[in-house]
Amino acid sequence: MSEKCIRRSIYLPKETLEKLEKIAINKGVKTSEVIRMFIDKGLNIESSREDIDFITDIIRQELTSIYRLEDIKEILDKQTNRLAKMIMKIGKMSTGQLFLLINMFLRMIDEAEEDRFDELLEMSIRNGINYMQKKDFQINDFLQDVDNLKNISNNL
pLDDT in tens, 41-61: 888 887 777 788 888 888 888
Contacts of 75 (CB under 8 A, 6+ apart): none
pLDDT at 1 over 60: no
Residue at 147: amino acid letter: D
Write out the E strands in 22-139. none
User: Is 80 part of any domain?
Assistant: no
- Residue 134's contacts (CB-CB under 8 Å, 6 or more residues apart) are 142
- How far is it, in rounded angstroms, from Cα 130 to Cα 119? 16
What is the span of the domain harbouring residue 18?
A: 14-64
Same domain, 101 and 148: yes
**Do 96 and 142 share a domain, yes or no?**
yes
From CA 113, how far away is CA 98, in angstroms rounded? 19
In a domain, 112, yes or no: yes
| Domains identified in the chain, total number | 2
Shared-domain flag, residues 106 and 149: yes
Q: Is residue 72 part of a domain?
A: no
Least confident of 10-14, 52-56, 145-149: 52-56
28 part of a folded domain: yes
Q: In this structure, are 94 and 147 located in the same domain?
A: yes
3-state secondary structure 40-53: HHHHHHHHHHHHHH
Higher-confidence position of 18 and 69: 18
pLDDT per residue as tens digits for the range 114-135: 888 888 888 888 888 888 898 9
